[in-house]
């Protein structure tokens, strides 16, 4: 198992390098905005543009820039390790903003994950057990809604209803836990639920399908033939076998979110990686974009690895492969 993990970790590194390389290419070969012109202001003369280019380090050849970027990530730069570099917009080290924002996004993702797992799995189970009956229809109707309703619409509606009209919840923004635990929770509540809804819907459908699939398996019949009470048949034998696809999906979903839940963060004005990277794309702040890409790529790759390990833990048939 140990060797397997080490091999996978090396793959993670390779994947991250590939992803950053392609991102770098996109932003340098065909940038949506040329940062040099953008940061040169209102009346960019050739000379001014050249000055800006040099000050941002954009005058060096492509591979030198990419090489420096990699070197800083792995070996650190003058601001510490890992080297996140300097933002074009703030002209100061990215690290001071980055870790704080990553933390906010992590809190958002983790909280939503807990909710959607609980919601999705329970709804999926109920749906599978009451297949065809009104509970099933209601649950799948909810799933259809959750999957179809755009996140930004849900978010804006939720804000409108619960904050503006009913005054039940405070509005947008982020309050650190240390500052005021109850406000921290209340501010996160809507974003958590809105973000979780989409995933819960997906997971409910998946768990339902997977569970129904499980129920058709022969070992369920054996379990009943042994005289097990139905509850044990469903949970111990049925659910256990249907959890593996959930685990796989969860790894990728959570990993992706850790790279920034862009829409939710924007609607609820959460200072996470999502809003950070979106503004940086509009502002042409390439170092930030690259850093978020690295982080996001790593998050997905690592979470996939964790999911795979968990999968192997659950299903002995895939171990040591």
Partner 1 sequence: MISLTRPEPTDRNEVILDVRNLRVHFPTPDGLVKAVDGISFQIRRGETIGVVGESGSGKSVSFLTVMGLVSSREAHIEGEIIFKGRDLLKLPQEETRHLRGKEMGMVFQDPMTSLHPMYRIGTQIAEAVLTHEHTSKKAAMKLAVEMLGRVGISKPEESARRYPHEFSGGMRQRAMIAMALILNPDLLIADEPTTALDVTVQAQILDLLDRLKADFNAAVAVITHDLGVVAEHCDRIQVMYAGRIVETGHSQVIYYRSRHPYTWGLLQSIPRLDAEEMHRLRPIEGLPPSLIFVPPGCAFHPRCPYVMDVCRTEVPELGPAHAFNASACHLPAEEKDRIFSQILAERG
Partner 2 sequence: MKKRTIGALALVLAFALVVAACGDDEGETTTTAAPTTTAPEGTTTVPTTGGGTYRMETDGIAYTGGGDPTGEYLGISWGILSNLLSRTLLTYYHTDGALGNTLVPDLAADFPEISEDGLTYTFTLKDGIMFGPPLSREITSADIEYAFRRMATEGIVAQYLFYYEGLIEGLELSTDMPDDISGIETPDDKTIIFHLTRISPDFIYLVAMPATTPMPEEVAGCFMEAGTYGRYVVSSGPYMYEGSDALDASSCEALVASGPISGFDPEDHSYFVRNPDYDPATDDPAVRANHVDRINIDLNTNVQDIFAKIRAGELDGTVSSGNPPADVLAAYSSDPELQDRLVSGVDDRTMYITMNLAAPPFDDIHVRKAVNLIMDKAGMQQAWGGEISGAIATHIQPPNLAGLGAEYDPYATEGYRGNLELAQAEMALSRYDTDGDGMCDAPECSGVILVNRTTTPWLETEPVVVASLALIGIEVQAQELENHYTVIQTVANLTPMGMNPGWGKDYPDSSSFAGFLFDGRNIIPEGNTNYSLVGLSEVQAAELGVPWPADGIPSVDADIDNCKQIALTDTQGGLDCWNDLDRTLMEEVVPWVPYLWLNVITTIGPAVTNWDYDQFAGVTAFSKVAVDPSLQG
What gap in Å lies between CA 4 and CA 8, rounded to an integer? 6
List the single partner that 210 binds among partner 2, partner 1, none, CB under 5 to 8 Å by kind.
Answer: none
Please give the angle made by the CA atoms of 27, 276 and 183, to the nearest 5 degrees.
Answer: 170
List the single partner that 179 binds among partner 1, partner 2, none, CB under 5 to 8 Å by kind.
Answer: none
Residue 311 tokens, joined: 């999968």
- Site residues for partner 1 per CB under 8 A: 217-219, 221-229, 232, 237, 240-241, 314-317
Least distance to partner 1, CB of residue 26, Å: 43
4 vs 152 by CB, closer to partner 2: 152
Least distance to partner 1, CB of residue 260, Å: 35
Q: Is 85 left (phi over 0), alpha (psi -120 to 50) or beta?
A: left
What gap in Å lies between CA 316 and CA 215, rounded to an integer? 20
List the single partner that 219 binds among partner 1, partner 2, none, CB under 5 to 8 Å by kind.
Answer: partner 1
Least distance to partner 2, CB of residue 172, Å: 5
List the single partner that 218 binds among partner 1, partner 2, none, CB under 5 to 8 Å by kind.
Answer: partner 1
Q: Identify the bridge partners of residue 77 per DSSP, sorted by sequence position.
A: 80
267 vs 312 by CB, closer to partner 2: 267
Q: Identify the bridge partners of residue 93 per DSSP, sorted by sequence position.
A: 86
82 neighbors 73 (Cβ within 8 angstroms) = yes
Residue 210 tokens, joined: 């997977």
164 vs 218 by CB, closer to partner 1: 218
Q: Identify the bridge partners of residue 86 per DSSP, sorted by sequence position.
A: 93
Least distance to partner 1, CB of residue 220, Å: 9
5 vs 33 by CB, closer to partner 2: 33
What gap in Å lies between CA 125 and CA 210, rounded to an integer? 10
In sequence order, which residues have a C-beta less than 8 Å from that of residue 18 and are 6 or more positions away?
none
105 vs 266 by CB, closer to partner 2: 266
What gap in Å lies between CA 208 and CA 318, rounded to an integer? 23
List the single partner that 240 binds among partner 2, partner 1, none, CB under 5 to 8 Å by kind.
Answer: partner 1
168 vs 219 by CB, closer to partner 1: 219
Least distance to partner 1, CB of residue 77, Å: 48
Q: Identify the bridge partners of residue 80 per DSSP, sorted by sequence position.
A: 77
45 vs 321 by CB, closer to partner 1: 321
Residues 87-95: contacts with CB under 8 Å, at least 24 apart:
87/280, 87/285, 87/287, 87/288, 88/35, 88/39, 88/56, 88/283, 88/284, 88/285, 88/286, 88/287, 88/288, 89/280, 89/283, 89/285, 89/288, 94/287, 94/288, 94/291
List the single partner that 225 binds among partner 1, partner 2, none, CB under 5 to 8 Å by kind.
Answer: partner 1
Q: Render the burial of 281-302: b for 16+ CB within 10 Å, e for the rest.
A: bebbbbbbbbbbbbbbbbbbbb
- Site residues for partner 2 per CB under 8 A: 32-34, 37-49, 51-52, 54-56, 87, 89-92, 97, 137, 140-145, 148-149, 156-157, 159-160, 164-165, 171-173, 265-269, 271, 275-276, 278-279, 282-283
Least distance to partner 2, CB of residue 38, Å: 7
List the single partner that 231 binds among partner 2, partner 1, none, CB under 5 to 8 Å by kind.
Answer: none
Least distance to partner 1, CB of residue 236, Å: 8
Residue linked to tokens 């405070």: 170
Least distance to partner 1, CB of residue 180, Å: 45
List the single partner that 241 binds among partner 1, partner 2, none, CB under 5 to 8 Å by kind.
Answer: partner 1
């Amino acid at each position: 198992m140990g060797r397997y993990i080490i091999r996978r970790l090396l793959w993670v590194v390779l994947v991250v390098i590939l992803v950053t390389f392609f991102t770098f290419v996109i932003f340098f070969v065909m940038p949506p905005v040329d940062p040099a012109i953008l940061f040169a202001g209102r009346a960019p003369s050739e000379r001014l543009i050249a000055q800006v280019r040099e000050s941002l380090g954009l005058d060096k050849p492509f591979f030198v820039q990419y090489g420096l970027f990699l070197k800083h990530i792995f070996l650190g730069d003058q601001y510490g390790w890992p080297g996140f570099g300097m933002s074009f917009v703030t002209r100061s080290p990215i690290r001071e903003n980055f870790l704080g924002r990553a933390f906010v996004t992590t809190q958002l993702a983790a909280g939503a994950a807990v909710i959607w797992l609980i919601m999705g799995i329970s709804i999926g189970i109920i749906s599978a057990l009451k297949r065809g009956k009104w509970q099933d229809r209601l649950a799948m109707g909810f799933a259809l809604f959750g999957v179809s309703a755009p996140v930004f619409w849900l978010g804006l509606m939720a804000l409108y209803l619960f904050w503006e009209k009913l005054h039940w919840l405070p509005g947008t923004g982020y309050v650190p836990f240390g500052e005021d635990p109850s406000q921290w929770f209340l501010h996160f509540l809507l974003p958590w639920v809105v973000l979780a809804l989409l995933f819960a819907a997906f997971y409910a459908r998946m768990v339902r399908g997977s569970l129904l699939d499980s129920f058709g398996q022969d070992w369920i019949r054996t379990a009943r033939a042994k005289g097990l009470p139905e509850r044990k048949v469903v949970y111990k034998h049925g659910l256990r076998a249907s959890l593996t696809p959930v685990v796989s999906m969860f790894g990728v979903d959570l990993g992706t979110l850790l790279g920034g839940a862009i829409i939710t963060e924007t609607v609820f004005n959460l200072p996470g990686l999502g809003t950070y990277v979106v503004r940086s794309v509009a502002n042409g702040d390439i170092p930030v974009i690259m850093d978020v890409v690295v982080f996001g790529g790593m998050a997905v790759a690592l979470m996939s690895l964790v999911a795979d390990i968990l999968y192997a833990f659950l299903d002995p048939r895939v171990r040591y492969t």
